[in-house]
């Protein structure tokens, strides 16, 4: 399965939550743990540009954009994994990040894929 470029999110983002339940929905099936992993390195141009930004202080936008893109891609891959397993929601969603080596970072998006049905209010 090719994951690059990462796909658009495969689930309704309103049905992805850090909580253990989704209001107005009931969990009818637990599909299992799903994940999306992205490993990125900083490029030399961005590193030099970011170093210059540190001289004036404030937000280091080059790194902020790299981090945000990595999280978006990991999220999209996680939701694709959930959809491939037949889920329509993810609960207990989390991000994690680890530095694998100097300048190389892994971003992991993970959670529990579930099938939910809207409850009758």
The pair phi, psi for residue 65, each rounded to 5°, is -65, -40
How is the chain split into domains, by residue range?
13-40+72-118
What pTM value is reported for the model? 0.79
Spatial distance between the Cα atoms of 51 and 24, rounded to a whole number of angstroms = 48
pLDDT digits (tens, 9 = 90+) for 75-86: 999 999 999 999
Strands (DSSP E) contained in the chain are 25-41, 89-101, 104-118
pLDDT digits (tens, 9 = 90+) for 84-103: 999 999 999 999 988 888 77
Which residues face 95 on adjacent strands? Answer: 109
- Please tell me the CATH code under which domain 13-40+72-118 is placed: 3.30.110.70
Least confident of 60-64, 66-70, 74-78: 60-64
Q: What separation, in Å, do the N-terminal and C-terminal C-alpha atoms of the chain show?
A: 40
């Amino acid at each position: 399965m090719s994951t690059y470029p990462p796909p658009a999110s495969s689930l309704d983002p309103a049905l992805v939550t850090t909580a253990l339940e989704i209001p107005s929905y009931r969990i009818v099936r637990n599909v299992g743990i799903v994940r999306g992993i992205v490993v990125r390195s900083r490029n030399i141009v961005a590193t030099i540009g970011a170093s210059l930004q540190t001289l004036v202080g404030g937000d280091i936008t080059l790194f902020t954009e790299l981090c945000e893109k990595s999280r978006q891609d990991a999220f999209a891959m996680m939701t694709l994994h959930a959809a491939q397993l037949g889920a329509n929601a993810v609960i207990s969603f989390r991000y994690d990040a680890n530095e694998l080596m100097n300048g190389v970072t892994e971003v992991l998006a993970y959670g529990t894929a579930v099938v939910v049905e809207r409850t009758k209010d």
